[in-house]
Amino acid sequence: MKSYEKVVGIDVSKETLSISLYDGKSHISYETRNTVKSFFNDFVKKEKGIDFSKVLFMLENTGVYHLRLATHLSKECGYIVSVANPLVIKRYSQMNLKRAKTDKADARLIAEYGYINGDDWLFSPRDIDYYKIDMKLKAVEDFHKQINMLSNQIEAIEYLPFKDNSTLNAYKKLIENFKKEIKKIEKELDILLREKYVEEYKLLSSIPGVGLKLTGVILGKLNGFANFDRGKDVTSFVGICPSIYQSGTSVNGRGKISKKGNGYMRTILYLCSLSACKYNKSCAELYERLVAKGKPKKVALIAVANKLIRQAFGVLKSGKPYDPDHAKNLTLVAKNA
């Protein structure tokens, strides 16, 4: 049974908040600046007859712009707050043939979705630690991109018909600085995971092939699978559901990896699948079996990444460490996944 009578749908942008108060039948709309003070002055105080302890505040995950308001409403006010993935809201819009072309319409759509499914995305102050993990992962990702860009510049300089050691050394120094910062952030990430997520860290570390970065991705970007009931929903969300086109006995078609989801998550999973092929018996057997059947190696690695994330899903949902001798039994937690 729902714990709320009305829903406040909030479309968040960097500067503004579009608000829709919805009771299941009609909407009341507001517009204000994206500050906690403006939200209370221009909306909450004007709706004096409402008991906001019985209202759900529904927002989309915008990365950072929703965090200040969501945290204040949840932590400081004790209100019911939900933060949904924007892909889910978009899917809801498409299924109901609704096209939100304005911020006002977006707020209404978010409110209507929250009225039906708000309990699926409940936000808690603990989620802030997830965002801390996410920000550290994002920094590492950005620094690696900078290193690649600088490495390309160095390569270009080395092809010049003259020497420019000053510029070359400057680029190399920047690369070393980025590498130092990456090590520093990864150390901070390791400490955060060990201190804040003791059980989750132990469970995920029990799976061969699941390292620091993938653990961070699972907790920081996937909220420890809190919003997923099935393993296949996770793989679909991440974008590691391979589409293999096969005709008759032909296995020569090239597998394709879904482009939806987060590219960084897919990259980390793909790299971890390489390690899993060496140290994770179940994943190694899957890889060898697919390659023996003639599947392209990339397709086999995607399948391994898929299996690896399902193993992680299994241990977190069951609360039991990975047991290679009982891997099949463990994955029953994600039945129909």
- Convert the pLDDT of each residue in 270-311 to its tens digit: 899 999 999 999 999 999 999 999 999 999 999 999 999 999
Residue at token pair 């801390």: 132
Asked, for residue 177, whether it belongs to a domain, the answer is yes
pLDDT at 7 over 90: yes
Same domain, 62 and 157: no
Same domain, 158 and 112: no
Asked, for residue 11, whether it belongs to a domain, the answer is yes
Same domain, 229 and 305: yes
Asked, for residue 99, whether it belongs to a domain, the answer is yes
Top pLDDT among 138 and 99 is at 138
Q: What percent of the chain has pLDDT over 70?
A: 88
Best mean pLDDT range from 29-33, 84-88, 90-94: 29-33
Output the CA–CA distances (angstroms, integers) from residue 226 to 36, 202, 219, 222, 229, in the order listed: 27, 17, 9, 8, 8
Q: What percent of the chain has pLDDT over 90?
A: 58
Domain extent for 188:
128-196
Whole-model pTM: value is 0.67
Q: For strands 6-12 and 27-33, give the pairing.
A: unpaired
pLDDT at 17 over 80: yes
Asked, for residue 286, whether it belongs to a domain, the answer is yes
* Model pLDDT, residue 244: 38
Asked, for residue 201, whether it belongs to a domain, the answer is no
* Model pLDDT, residue 242: 54
Q: Where a domain ends, among 140, 167, 196?
A: 196
Q: Where a domain ends, among 121, 156, 185?
A: 121
Cα–Cα distance for residue pair 305/298, rounded to 1 Å: 10
pLDDT at 97 over 90: no
* Model pLDDT, residue 252: 41
Same domain, 226 and 154: no
Same domain, 189 and 163: yes
Report, as an integer, the average pLDDT of 23-33. 95
pLDDT, tens only, 211-234: 998 999 898 888 888 878 888 888
Q: Where a domain ends, among 63, 88, 121?
A: 121
Output the CA–CA distances (angstroms, integers) from residue 331 to 283, 312, 334, in the order listed: 13, 9, 5
Same domain, 76 and 181: no
Same domain, 11 and 109: yes
Report, as an integer, the average pLDDT of 66-80. 93
Report, as an integer, the average pLDDT of 142-154. 96
Same domain, 37 and 74: yes
Same domain, 326 and 216: yes
Top pLDDT among 135 and 248 is at 135
pLDDT, tens only, 156-183: 998 888 888 999 999 999 999 999 999 9
Q: How many domains does the chain have?
A: 3
Can you give the CATH number for the domain in which 83 is found? 3.30.420.40
Same domain, 216 and 330: yes
Asked, for residue 175, whether it belongs to a domain, the answer is yes
Show the tokens assigned to 71.
């945290």
Asked, for residue 207, whether it belongs to a domain, the answer is no
Beta-bridge mates of residue 19: 10, 30
pLDDT at 20 over 90: yes
